[in-house]
């Protein structure tokens, strides 16, 4: 099993923080996984929080982190695809206003 995993390609996908990238990026992750790649899908903690909040509104209750992760790729994993999900910090607190300050915090100093 370890030898098979060692030969298997592993894509680490870090999403760009802009509207309209989530769905096509998720589709790419699924396409790569369906071709036998291990995929680690990385989102910032802020983006994860936003998607979790949106999903909680749709499900009418607060979601745990595990439930939120399951919303993204549960079906794919249940069908045998090797998709992993993790979050990273963008260096700012969750309450930082990324929308009005995005030009300044995305430009190098």
Q: What pLDDT is attached to residue 50?
A: 76
Is the pLDDT confidence value at 4 over 60? no
Helix, strand and coil in the chain, % to nearest 5:
50, 15, 30
Q: What pLDDT is attached to residue 12?
A: 96
Tell me the per-residue pLDDT of 61-84, one tens digit each, with 9 for 90 and over: 566 666 666 667 878 888 999 999
Q: What pLDDT is attached to residue 48?
A: 78
Q: Domain residue spans in the chain?
A: 2-104
Tell me the per-residue pLDDT of 20-50, one tens digit each, with 9 for 90 and over: 778 888 899 999 999 999 999 998 888 877 7
Which of the 8 DSSP states describes residue 15?
-
Closest residue by Cα to residue 39 from 62, 64, 63, 10: 10
Which of the 8 DSSP states describes residue 60?
T
């Amino acid at each position: 099993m370890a030898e098979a995993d060692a030969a298997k390609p592993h894509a680490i996908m870090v999403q760009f923080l802009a509207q309209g990238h989530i769905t096509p990026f998720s589709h790419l992750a699924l396409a790569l996984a369906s071709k036998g790649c291990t995929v680690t899908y990385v989102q910032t903690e802020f983006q994860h929080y936003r998607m979790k909040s949106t999903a909680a509104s749709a499900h009418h209750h607060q979601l745990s982190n595990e439930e939120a992760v399951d919303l993204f790729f549960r079906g794919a994993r249940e069908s045998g695809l090797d998709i992993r999900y993790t979050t990273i910090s963008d260096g700012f607190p969750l309450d930082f206003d990324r929308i009005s300050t995005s030009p300044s915090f995305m430009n190098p100093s």
